Chains A and B, each alone.
Chain A
């Protein structure tokens, strides 16, 4: 006769120790390779900064995160300060994401507003109604950089902190887009107003020039309370969204803006060259 197992009994502990339970709690981006880099996904309720310059695919990655959330039964909100929802709908459709249908099903909302209204304080917050209506698990702000137009430089960190705390209080896992003209140099400074300390995770997108062609690199610069992939991974914007490729293992200096082949690769190239010459001789 076997002893009946409790629902939270040994199997639960087995999962916990094997890391499976923790993995199940992660907020999956739905981009398999990115989830692997994040060891399962973002931590629930975390504020994630997605930083990069124009054209790196911040909006695409953020939308993909929300759309994949809806597919997993997690409603999402996209807050935009720049583009009208109409444009967001059209661009998303190019990737095969029907946001209008998701909106009709109350699983998704594109909110278009002015950054100054997000900064208003009082009994009512701009997002109160929509948070109540669709009870999102995920939210994207495109972009936090826009707040800079309405806030004094010294107040930026405090205002961003208020926004982050508001979302955390509502149990929403947020992705905050940040327009970084460049992410380079030894300090890895993503913002110059100290916002990197406010967020739990930073994913940076960076264009890199290698052998006279522009390629794109993704790196996780920070992830509070979790291990993560430290390598720079190449990615592409495909008709189905962001696709993450292999790591730039043969190059160094990509972040500093001076990519060069690593010594071992240079040696291999010399060796291959010499071997070719020998064959021809």
Chain B
């Protein structure tokens, strides 16, 4: 996936942007989808799809703790993604042309 595609995926919705801000400010956050939704003032139904997209991108990881599924930021993957987005941004000028 190119840096541009990654950027488009990351910023595809307001909820996804809220999730990005939450996990970037709080990289040690480990919670259920329900708990994460509550932390950004939403419900699990509304954030489910966006969490799924970020899991697919690899930015978030999921694991089972007892009877609960939790999600958390993959710090190494996050660094990679940031780098790829930064490299992409370097290739475009303010007007948006390459």
Chain A positions within 8 Å of B, measured between CB atoms, are: 84-86, 103, 109-114, 116-117, 120-122, 124-126, 129
Contact = CB atoms under 8 A, between A and B. Distances in A.
Contact of A109 (B28, B35, B39, B68): B28
A85 B65 contact: no
B64 A117 contact: no
Contacts of A121: 66
Contacts of A120: 65-68
A117 B32 contact: yes
Contacts of B30: 111-113, 117, 126
A84 B64 contact: no
B29 A112 contact: yes
23 contacts: A84-B39, A85-B26, A85-B27, A85-B29, A109-B28, A110-B26, A111-B29, A112-B30, A112-B31, A113-B29, A113-B30, A113-B70, A114-B32, A114-B35, A117-B30, A117-B65, A117-B68, A117-B70, A121-B66, A122-B67, A124-B66, A126-B65, A126-B70
Nearest to A124: B65
A46 B76 CA distance: 33
A112 B39 CA distance: 11
Given A110-B28, A113-B29, A122 B64 contact: yes
Nearest to B38: A114
Contacts of B68: 116-117, 120
Given A113-B35, A120-B68, 9 more contacts: A86-B26, A103-B27, A112-B26, A114-B31, A114-B32, A114-B35, A116-B68, A120-B67, A122-B65
A86 B35 CA distance: 17
Contacts of B42: none
Contacts of A109: 28
Contact of A122 (B28, B35, B66): B66
B90 interface: no
A117 B27 CA distance: 17
B98 interface: no
Most B-side CB within 10 Å, residue of A103, A112, A121, A129: A112
Contacts of B31: 112-114, 117
Contacts of B64: 122, 124
Contact of B28 (A111, A117, A124): A111
Contacts of A112: 26, 28-31
B65 to A, nearest CB: 5
B37 to A, nearest CB: 12
A86 B32 contact: no
Please name the 10 residue pairs, one residue from A and one from B, whose CB atoms are nearest each other, closest first. A120-B66, A122-B66, A86-B25, A85-B26, A110-B28, A111-B28, A113-B30, A120-B65, A112-B29, A85-B28
B63 interface: yes
Given A121-B66, A122-B64, A124-B65, A84 B35 contact: no
A112 B68 CA distance: 16
